Amino acid sequence: MSLPYLGGKLPKKTKFNHFFDSKTDSILRGQFNGLCITYKYFKQGKHSFTGNPQRFECHSCGDDPWRILFLGPIILGWVGSLWVGICFLSLPFHEPDEVFPWWIIWTVLIWNVSILNLMPVIHRFAPANLAYFDRKTRKVGYTFDVPGCTERDEFGNCCFPWREIECNVAKITTSQHGAQAYAPFISHEHSFFQYKNTEMTIVVTENAQDPIYCLLFWEGLVRFMDNKKPQSARTNTNKKAS
């Protein structure tokens, strides 16, 4: 499919997206929580607008360096799991009277399950920096301070008119084996010089080799922000999932 406007600012129009549903598995994700009994806190955001998908669409935005500290426990869990795997692979080489270190397995299992259940709680009380798109007021707000921003919304947060927000498609390196993938890059139109904190990169799929997914995401957001038209199927799906 020819996409002639890749490489520049994407237009705010819906050429491809006609009630396209990009989150068809969102309902199933909400039904199967595995060992995470605190998963419900993922749906109970600290901010009131995260529980109102009919009016707001939220995305992670801006730098939040302190949250990198939470990578430590996750990395420890990964290292522990790797250690357990090595222990099992070394079983054929154990001496007959050698005791298998079962304490390692129980320690790693308890650690991983604990971290798994703590993350939703942390997400509830210390959420990431968010940008929220307000369909009602056609404003884009931020849960953190944006230097130079003078306008405030009803929540007391910095906000900008939707018309000042733009989207470009960029090629990024994903966490999956360092593969190259396309991603929509959303920011304020003056982000390069003035509002750098408004920049956000949206991961539409883990390995989006086709940029059409970026366009469909952007057109879904454009469709959502057009309050002169009925809500799209994507909004209705989010409503059911919440």
**Does residue 113 carry a pLDDT above 80?**
yes
Three-state SS annotation for the chain:
CCCCCCCCECCCCCCCCCCCCCCCCHHHHHHCCCCCCCHHHHCCCCCHHHHCCCCEEEEECCCCHHHHHHHHHHHHHHHHHHHHHHHHHCHHHCCCCCCCCHHHHHHHHHHHHHHHHHHHHHHHHCCCCEEEEECCCCEEEECCCCCCCCCECCCCCEEEEHHHEEEEEEEEECCCCCCEEEEEEEEECCCCCCCHHHCEECCCCCCCCCCHHHHHHHHHHHHHHCCCCCCCHHHHHHHHHC
The strands making up 130-134's β-sheet, listed across from edge to edge, are 56-60, 130-134, 139-142, 158-161
- Is the model's pTM score more than 0.75? no
Tens-place pLDDT, residues 195-204: 888 888 887 7
Tens-place pLDDT, residues 179-212: 677 888 898 988 878 888 888 888 776 556 778 8
**Does residue 1 carry a pLDDT above 50?**
no
Tens-place pLDDT, residues 27-60: 555 566 777 777 776 666 666 777 788 899 988 7
